[in-house]
Amino acid sequence: MNGQKMLVPTNEKKSHFFYGYIVILASFLIMLISWGSQYSYGVFFKPVLNEFNWSRAVTSGAFSINMILTGAFSILAGRIADRFGPRLVLSISGLIVGIAFILMARVSTIWQYYLDYGVLLSIGLSGIVVPLMSNVSRWFTIRRGLASGIVISGIGMGVIVMPQVANNLISTYEWRKSFIILGIAAFILIVGFAQLLRHAPVQKIIPNREVSSSETSSSNVQVQGLSTVQAMRTRQFWIICLIALFLTYGVQTIMVHIVAHATDIGYSATTAATILSAIGIVSIIAKIFMGSLGDKISNRNVMIIISIILVLVFIWLRIAADLWMLYLFAAVFAFAYAG
């Protein structure tokens, strides 16, 4: 009227879906596939050992190098993800993990084995945990612990699923072809799910009411803490590092050798793989329990309890011969492992 346009009401509703939930799902699945495949090493351990007649110390050494380098490379991967975003880093990581598994089918000497599994695979894995956890923490603040717990539980779910998948593949195709299949699947799935990731800007968090603008600009909010250099000058920092070193050594030793140990005392490879899967099942529940326990009795006391439990379960494993004893070991160990 009078040359003016009328504003016509619309029934369209603005979408309030929060994309952070897609990020959690994609991150969970990437953790499941990547680290579940990594922890399937124990299933491949005996077939590789039997073919090459290497010692167990030499064969498991590749896994040790892998874990050390994965931790070292993760620092660099985190910095790259901060600059270029998680999608690019996870896509490259998925490609490297896939290639590393495929190349395992071509291994014929120990140096190739160490170079591929010890070095190349560690480069791929290093670009997964830190970028994913860092990205999720940017999407969530109030529910950050829950979101991070869901994502990290993907590792536990991977330990349930992937050793069984690997064992079935080895039973059908032998270990070399199984690595090829695992590599192709890891590449397709990790890179595919990585395309769902987004780097969370601040404006993505505020509409979800995770943080209010008044809270972020309040002068009362103060961030306290030590820089990396300052922390490294404290005794507590190095004590924590030593505790983490010894605990990780014990945990990873079990994850590598438990399947081979079970077959050594007479159980089938399929049954042995279920022991590893049992660790994954219990660890998912245990992560939630241990997290709440730490809020009640302090993280220091939780660490003391975990250390005592690990000593006792290692002694128990020395005498465990019946299947129920091995499953009990897996359950109790998983609680300490999750903590």
Please say whether the structural domain 18-209 has been given the CATH code 3.40.640.10.
no
Task: Quote the CA–CA distance of 318 and 329 in Å, as a whole number.
Answer: 10
Do the Cβ atoms of 290 and 327 come closer than 8 Å?
Answer: no
Task: Quote the CA–CA distance of 263 and 251 in Å, as a whole number.
Answer: 19
pLDDT confidence of residue 203: 42
Task: Quote the CA–CA distance of 145 and 156 in Å, as a whole number.
Answer: 17
pTM over 0.85: no
Q: What is the full per-residue pLDDT of the chain (339 aa) written as tens digits?
A: 444 444 444 444 455 778 888 999 999 999 999 999 988 888 898 899 889 989 888 888 888 899 889 888 888 888 888 888 889 999 999 999 999 999 999 999 999 999 999 999 999 999 998 889 888 888 877 777 777 778 888 888 888 899 889 999 999 999 999 999 999 999 999 999 999 998 765 544 444 444 443 443 443 444 455 666 777 778 887 887 787 777 777 777 888 888 888 888 888 888 888 888 888 888 777 766 665 565 566 667 777 777 888 888 888 988 888 899 999 988 888 877 666
35: its two tokens: 């680290």
Domain range annotation of the chain = 18-209, 234-339
Instruction: For residue 43, give the nearest of 324, 254, 256 by alpha carbon.
Output: 256
H-helix or E-strand spanning residue 247: helix 235-264
**SS3 state of residue 6:** coil
Do the Cβ atoms of 154 and 28 come closer than 8 Å?
Answer: yes
